[in-house]
Amino acid sequence: MDSILDSERSRRLLAALVREHIMTGEPVASSALAAAAGVEVSSATVRNILARLEEEGYVQQPHTSAGRTPTDRGYRFYVDLLLEEPRPHRSVSLVMARLRDAGNGEQFLVSVSHLLSQTSRHVGFAIAPAVDAAVFHQIEFVSLTPRRVLVIVVARRGEALQKVVETGEPWRPSELRQAANYLNAEFAGLPLEQARAAIFARLQEQRTMYDRLLGRALDLAHSGFENLSDEQRVYLEGTAMLLGDDAVRNGEASIAMLRTLLKMVDEKERLIRLLSEYMDGEGVTVVIGAEHGSPELRPFSLIASAYSEGGRLGAVGVLGPTRMRYSRTIALVDGVARAMSRLLKDTN
């Protein structure tokens, strides 16, 4: 049996129903649907098409006398139409203008999550690329006591990783400066993981040589690089907006699910793992309601896109109710990701 959506008229009616429901939050009556879709058909034909759409799982009728609302499958049909449409390049230029003075490293990603949240009125997030893929810029040694040194590893985009190292013998500030200068001259520009491996290899070689200060510098750097976290960092803003989302007000998301979701947001690492499952290279990804593998996320939709920083990928996106303004939010997330890739390319 052919699908009802083989008909152009039915596709236009379903798209119009989804748009109207997103705008009003109310079930859409068949009497108003033909005009909204811009098609000339009788009310009886509209009712027949809606009945077929309900049979195929694209719409549902909350009450016998009410109009229809889209199901997750109906939202998916609508979103797939939006993803096929070209998105305006003007939005990328506007986002670049807003982010150009947003700072570097962590502050830049904080600004991005704020922009996403404030513009979409949902939860906005920005995920940094994995730390071990970052490019080593410089190392700094700060003397805390003669035998305690703060090692600061700085990546090219401004990310800073810190570790306090207990040393077996005292260091003078002049020695620490000399050690840092040597390491920066030798290893700057390498990916962090390669820099760590190169320092370890050089340390093994140096132990057979006679330059004692050089050996101590390599040993100190190796201690600083040890156990650097390779987990990605996530910056979120707007979690309080979940409490005001229609999914909660309309009872689609239980309080228990909302608490679990907020806990997941607080833990962040768990959320990163979950979001990473959806990302498949660059481009916009949309996951709607029941498409989520995690039950906690099924009352919500996720719109995300990867951005590139020196060949490594991070992600930005929005988490909100299934009844969100997909067209505007997809354009926002896509524009932010494209703008970030361009800005980060310009500053690397």
Q: Give the pLDDT mean for 123-133.
A: 77
Amino acid making up residue 202 = R
CATH level 3 topology of 4-70: Arc Repressor Mutant, subunit A (1.10.10)
Highest-pLDDT range among 24-33, 83-92, 279-288: 24-33
Q: Give the pLDDT mean for 17-43.
A: 87
pLDDT at 206: 60
Name the pLDDT band for 300 (thresholds 50, 70, 90): confident
Q: Is the pLDDT of residue 26 over 80?
A: yes
Q: Which residues of 100-116 are buried (b: 16+ CB within 10 A; e: fewer)?
A: eebeebbebbbbbbbbb
Q: Give the pLDDT mean for 147-164.
A: 78
Pairing assessment for the beta strands 136-145 and 123-127 based on DSSP bridges: unpaired
Q: Is the pLDDT of residue 325 over 70?
A: yes
> What DSSP element (H or E) covers 124?
strand 123-127
Computed from CA positions of residues 283, 287, 291, 295, in that sequence, does the dihedral angle turn out positive or negative? Answer: positive
What is the share, in percent, of the chain residues with pLDDT greater than 70? 81
What residues contact 50, with CB distance under 8 A and at least 6 apart?
Answer: 13, 17, 30, 33, 59, 68
Q: Is the pLDDT of residue 130 over 90?
A: no
pTM to 2 decimal places: 0.72
Q: For residue range 42-83, what is the model confidence (pLDDT) as tens digits?
A: 888 898 999 999 999 999 998 776 789 999 999 999 999 999
Q: Give the pLDDT mean for 231-258.
A: 64
Burial of 227 (0-12, 13-18, 19+ CB in 10 A): exposed
β-bridge mates for residue 304, sequence order: 285, 317
Q: Is the pLDDT of residue 277 over 80?
A: no
User: Does domain 132-225 match CATH 3.30.390.60?
Assistant: yes
Q: What is the largest CA-CA distance in the chain?
A: 94
pLDDT at 304: 92
Q: Is the pLDDT of residue 265 over 70?
A: no
Q: Is the pLDDT of residue 249 over 90?
A: no
Cα gap 42→59, rounded to integer Å: 20
Average pLDDT of every residue of the chain: 81
pLDDT at 35: 82
Higher pLDDT, 31 or 17: 17
pLDDT at 23: 92
pLDDT at 141: 87
76-80, 132-136, 172-176, 338-342: lowest mean pLDDT where?
132-136
Q: Is the pLDDT of residue 247 over 70?
A: no
Name the pLDDT band for 288 (thresholds 50, 70, 90): very high
Name the pLDDT band for 87 (thresholds 50, 70, 90): confident
Q: Give the pair of three-digit tokens for residue 202.
A: 């050089």
Q: For residue range 198-223, what is the model confidence (pLDDT) as tens digits?
A: 887 887 776 555 467 778 888 888 88
pLDDT at 82: 94
Q: Is the pLDDT of residue 312 over 60?
A: yes
pLDDT at 55: 94
Q: Give the pLDDT mean for 274-282.
A: 69
Computed from CA positions of residues 257, 263, 268, 269, in that sequence, does the dihedral angle turn out positive or negative? Answer: negative
DSSP 3-state of 144: strand
CA angle 21, 25, 26 (to 5 degrees): 80
Q: Give the pLDDT mean for 304-316.
A: 84
pLDDT at 245: 59
Cα gap 306→276, rounded to integer Å: 10
Cα gap 184→137, rounded to integer Å: 7
User: Does domain 86-130+232-347 match CATH 3.30.450.40?
Assistant: yes
Amino acid making up residue 302 = L
For the chain, domain boundaries? 4-70, 86-130+232-347, 132-225
Higher pLDDT, 31 or 228: 31
